[in-house]
A and B are shown apart, each in its own frame.
Chain A
């Protein structure tokens, strides 16, 4: 099933995350531009604060959203191709009021494997029986173990922090003597992005993919569920998603650009703060997993929007550049409505633009069901 199966599969694979790029399609239930806890960017901030709020602004504003998306893909020969689709997004727990505690332990001169065996596993073992734990995920890296523990909805944050702290202190005697004392802290800010999300993507152009639907249920702690519907075959195909750093619908954006790269995968340094920007240098913790050596982001201080990101290869040479080209404040959310990703080696680029962006739309949960693959919800997709 050539065109149907594969090209399209790929398109869908990658497109879905595009939704998150839709500004504000994710995020705070708070309809204000300044969500609870967002610090004043004109003051000096720590690197963690900058990273957290930049990530939030890029991918997690608003608890539902819709947008019409157009991608103009221009290749190195100057040939242009256009993709158009409509994205609907809904957070499963828009008002999730769940506390999150981050537990960190350091162990000097240890490898990632040693950290996993001697720290992470033991902490996870101790944490899983704590009252009120909904889920957790961990990162083991050389010298450091980090576990994020998500509490059940409506569990009181302070009590939850206490319970977690008590549990990790309880296993301290099982950890290597050289390990630091486990540090537990509440993760501030909006928690929407810890919830599950659903996306419905309806393709309009080009003609060979028109009316095709891509449905994604984005999960935490396990792989997303993805389906594609091909109307000409009446075929509902299940899609896998092992491949994150490949092109998104044949564009210069990668799947991970649009879905968002987990902030836990990189080391972050605040290499400059000037009047307008925080400048972040991000280096992958596992360089073998990715094609870049590092990337540098210019984050607008007032809004925490990323204005420019340049990717450098492992020899330190710039080869890809993202630029925000236009911003609108929509329903209180600063929103990048025009942007570009450019391949600096070939000169090819993709311009991305959003229109009819709407946050906190009343999208019922059931339209994200497989039933609506065969019956597009026109009311919400728009005329």
Chain B
């Protein structure tokens, strides 16, 4: 198996190299700017354009077709034979993506040095019928990193991952409905989420899959309503959709029961609420834009999205959680500013004295992003401050089992995004950094992505985790630090 992965990695790298050198070698080298004058008429001399200053009446550029002198321009309509972009009755698109990634250091809890080794085919089918839009997005996977599981559409395991399968329609003037498997997002954070309790795939994020995979699908009914006073969105998920979190299977994590990092030796096998219509989730957003300022209020009634509780049998489970929050977003000083807050009501531990259920928290996010033409063209910088504030920290400390690595009352995180586009915006360099001064840990996401043409893209990047301690949010992932390379063909 390991050979297969090496082969896949080598093939990916080799194809990337071929494409890069191939692209660069086309049509021979070109002279650098300033060394050539392809057209003598466009001479470097500061001469006036032809016709300027001459007193001969009709000088100047040739008239374009349609402006010929002395002919009345006919009122034309577009020729029927012209090619027109079309929304076909059946819209078919997709991509083929090969991707390989490896740890930069050995991890004693993982057999495999590879974190990623896969070929993925995504097909995206869309069609409309009687005002209804049907969408089916399916990923077919050849994954060389065994997770030891058959196809599981809920967890996204196995050779097929159903991303979307839904129908959208407008039953009433003021209402849009979407039913089925779908991707859901709301809130104002940049790769930080407070009121967005829809499932995330953190594992995909940490190993270098495309950022689109950070959002895992929900099986849900979404109702959006629009009125003069306020818009309201309701999402009902009849069966709880958890995050696709780090389980130890592919990436190692801090195991608080063992008091050390763990991986394949202690894969989390959580007790998952799975009864339809009983173990359900309900999310609500009320929103309105006033004078360019976007205001929103949120509610969520469901579960912690990761198995942060432990039941009497010592098994991880998903405790109940309600979240109430609000956000504001608008323009400020040439950029976009946002503030978002949420109260995490940990229903099963409102006193904060149960060591096996997370405490309630207040979470806060303040962000700002803008372009900086003053510094460079095509440069975007974004900063965020994020706070998790444990409500009953004293109770928590009092009741924590002996030997527990205690969390602080406040967890502060600062993020910095720097993105620069080069080469006619075909090359994108980006660095996204999370840094926590309270946990003393950090997570760096450098990446480079180049569009070879309208179909091919190559990208490479890293996921670098650093931490002073083994048990903090990013520090626990330190041994998973990896680099990856990917190649994608889209149509």
Taking Cβ atoms with an 8 Å cutoff, the residues of A that contact B are 1-7, 9-11, 13, 68, 70, 73, 75-79, 81-82, 84, 86, 204-208, 210, 217, 219, 222-223, 225, 232-236, 238-247, 249-251, 271-272, 274-277, 279, 296, 298, 300, 302-303, 305, 307-308, 310, 312, 315-318, 321, 323-332, 334, 336-338, 344-348, 355-357, 369-371, 374-375, 378, 381-383
Contacts and interface: CB of A to CB of B under 8 A. Distances in A.
Given A234-B185, A325-B65, A205 B449 contact: no
B279 to A, nearest CB: 23
Interface in B39-68: 39, 42-46, 48-49, 51-53, 56-61, 63-67
B211 interface: yes
List 9 tightest A-B contacts by C-beta distance, closest first: A327-B66, A316-B46, A250-B425, A207-B490, A206-B454, A275-B58, A243-B371, A243-B373, A242-B334
B226 interface: yes
Contacts of A374: 176, 224
A330 B419 CA distance: 42
A375 B131 CA distance: 11
A374 B23 CA distance: 37
Contact of A276 (B43, B49, B69, B459): B69
Task: Specify which of B23, B52, B224, B428 lies most central, judged by the most chain A CB atoms within 10 Å of its CB.
Answer: B52
Interface stretch (B82-90, B347-355, B433-441): B82-90
B182 A240 contact: no
B311 interface: no
Given A7-B451, A247-B424, A375-B168, 11 more contacts: A3-B457, A6-B430, A7-B421, A86-B85, A205-B454, A233-B183, A308-B61, A323-B61, A334-B67, A338-B64, A344-B39
A242 B400 CA distance: 50
A207 to B, nearest CB: 4
Contacts of A242: 334-335, 370-373
A346 B33 contact: yes
Contact of B454 (A207, A236, A238, A239): A207
B147 interface: no
Contacts of A217: 292
Interface stretch (B71-79, B101-109, B247-255, B477-485): B71-79
Interface string B361-390: 000000001111100011010000000000
Nearest to A219: B292
Given A240-B331, A327-B65, A371 B490 contact: no
A222 B292 CA distance: 10
A317 B44 contact: yes
Interface string B396-435: 0000000000000000000000010100111010100000
A223 B333 CA distance: 10
A77 B59 contact: no
B460 to A, nearest CB: 11
A323 B51 CA distance: 15
A279 B53 CA distance: 10
A2 B378 contact: no
Given A271-B52, A274-B59, A328-B66, A68 B176 contact: no
Contact of A357 (B78, B88, B231): B78
A205 B52 contact: no
B224 to A, nearest CB: 7
Interface in B5-38: 23, 26-27, 30, 33-34, 36, 38
A204 B58 CA distance: 42
A383 B87 contact: yes
Given A242-B370, A272-B52, A274-B58, A208 B490 contact: yes
Interface string B160-197: 00000000101000001000001111000011000000
Contact of B63 (A6, A300, A321): A300
20 contacts: A1-B211, A5-B190, A5-B419, A6-B430, A70-B85, A76-B30, A76-B33, A79-B26, A206-B455, A236-B185, A240-B370, A241-B371, A242-B371, A243-B372, A276-B63, A302-B67, A307-B61, A308-B60, A318-B44, A355-B82
A213 B430 CA distance: 23
Contacts of A307: 60-61, 63-64, 67
Given A321-B42, A357-B78, A326 B30 contact: no
